[in-house]
Amino acid sequence: MARKAPERDINEEELEVGGRSEAAAGVKGVLVSLQRSWEQMGLARTVRTLPLLNQQSGFDCPGCAWPDPRQEEGGHRKIAEFCENGAKAVAEEATTRRVGPEFFAAHPVAELAERTDYWLGQQGRITQPVILREGDTHYRPISWEDAFQVIADKLNALDSPDQATFYTSGRASNEAAFAYQLMVRSFGTNNLPDCSNMCHEASGAALTETIGIGKGSVSLADVEQADLVVVVGQNPGTNHPRMLTSLEKVKRNGGKIIAINPLPETGLMRFKNPQTARGVIGSGTALADEFAQIRVSGDLVLFKALNSLILKADAVDHEFIRDHTHGYEEFAAQAGDVDWQEVEQVTGLPQQQVERIAGMLMRSERTVFCWAMGLTQHKKSVPTIREIVNLALLRGMIGKPGAGLCPVRGHSNVQGDRTMGIWEKMPDSFLDALDAEFGIKSPRHHGLDTVDSIRAMREGKVKAFIGLGGNFVAASPDTGATSEALRSCELTVQISTKLNRSHVTPGKTALILPTLGRTERDVQASGPQFVTVEDSMSVVHASRGRLAPASQHLLSEVAIISRLARHLLGSDHPVPWEEFERDYDTIREHIANVVPGCADYNRKVRQPDGFVLPHPPRDSRTFPTSTGKANFTVNVPEKLHIPEGRLLLQTMRSHDQYNTTIYGLSDRYRGIEGGRRVVLVNSEDLEELGFRDGQVVDVVSEWTTSDGKQQERRAPSFRLVSYPTPKGCAAAYYPEANALVPLDSVGEISNTPASKSVVIRLEAR
- Residue partners of 31: CB distance under 8 A and separation at least 6: none
Least Å distance, CB 635 to ligand SF4, is 31
Pick between residue 295 and residue 324 the one whose CB is nearest to ligand MGD. 295
- Cβ distance 180 to 204 under 8 Å? no
Instruction: Report which of 759, 71, 765, 764 is spatially closest to residue 378, judged by C-alpha positions.
Output: 759
Site for ligand SF4 (CB under 6 A): which residue of 59, 66, 369, 530? 66
Q: How many residues sit in the footprint of ligand MGD (CB under 6 A)?
A: 61
From the list ligand SF4, Mo ion, ligand MGD, none, pick the one residue 756 interacts with, judged by a Cβ distance below 5 to 8 Å according to partner type.
ligand MGD
Collapse the DSSP code of 80 into the 3-class scheme (helix H, G, I; strand E, B; otherwise coil) and give the result.
coil
- Cβ distance 385 to 761 under 8 Å? no
Alpha helices in 609-680 (DSSP H): 616-620
HEC readout, 548-562: CCCCCCCECHHHHHH
Residue 240 found at the interface with ligand SF4 (CB under 6 A)? yes
Least Å distance, CB 121 to Mo ion, is 17
- Cβ distance 604 to 211 under 8 Å? no
Please report, for residues 145, 282, 633, the alpha-carbon distance to residue 582 in angstroms, rounded to integers and kept in the order given.
17, 53, 49
Residue 415 found at the interface with ligand MGD (CB under 6 A)? no
- Cβ distance 760 to 730 under 8 Å? yes
- Print the binding letters for residues 365-394 with ligand MGD: x by CB under 6 A, - otherwise: -------xxx--x-----------------
- Residue partners of 537: CB distance under 8 A and separation at least 6: 67, 216, 218, 219, 220, 406, 612
Q: Which of residues 222-281 bind ligand MGD (CB under 6 A)?
A: 232-235, 238-240, 260-263, 265
Least Å distance, CB 471 to ligand MGD, is 4
Residue 199 found at the interface with Mo ion (CB under 5 A)? yes
Pick between residue 496 and residue 631 the one whose CB is nearest to ligand MGD. 496
Secondary structure element (H or E) that encloses residue 733, with its range? strand 729-733
- Print the binding letters for residues 80-119 with ligand SF4: x by CB under 6 A, - otherwise: --xx-xx--x------------------------------
Alpha helices in 573-700 (DSSP H): 577-582, 584-594, 601-604, 616-620, 683-689
Pick between residue 347 and residue 479 the one whose CB is nearest to Mo ion. 479
Q: Which of residues 153-212 bind ligand MGD (CB under 6 A)?
A: 169-171, 195, 198-199
Pick between residue 63 and residue 212 the one whose CB is nearest to Mo ion. 63
Residue 675 found at the interface with ligand MGD (CB under 6 A)? no
From the list Mo ion, ligand MGD, ligand SF4, none, pick the one residue 82 interacts with, judged by a Cβ distance below 5 to 8 Å according to partner type.
ligand SF4
Collapse the DSSP code of 753 into the 3-class scheme (helix H, G, I; strand E, B; otherwise coil) and give the result.
strand
Residue 735 found at the interface with Mo ion (CB under 5 A)? no
Least Å distance, CB 474 to ligand MGD, is 7
Residue 426 found at the interface with ligand SF4 (CB under 6 A)? no
Pick between residue 555 and residue 595 the one whose CB is nearest to ligand MGD. 555
Residue 61 found at the interface with ligand SF4 (CB under 6 A)? yes
From the list ligand MGD, ligand SF4, Mo ion, none, pick the one residue 61 interacts with, judged by a Cβ distance below 5 to 8 Å according to partner type.
ligand SF4
Tell me how far apart the alpha carbons of residues 79 and 69 are, in angstroms, rounded to a whole number.
12
Instruction: Report which of 682, 693, 674, 694 is spatially closest to residue 650, judged by C-alpha positions.
Output: 682
- Print the binding letters for residues 394-433 with Mo ion: x by CB under 5 A, - otherwise: ----------------x-----------------------
HEC readout, 326-387: ECHHHHHHHHCCCCHHHHHHHHCCCHHHHHHHHHHHHHCCCEEEEECHHHHCCCCHHHHHHH
Instruction: Report which of 109, 112, 102 is spatially closest to residue 138, judged by C-alpha positions.
Output: 109
Least Å distance, CB 68 to ligand SF4, is 7
**Positions in the binding site for Mo ion (CB under 5 A):** 199, 410
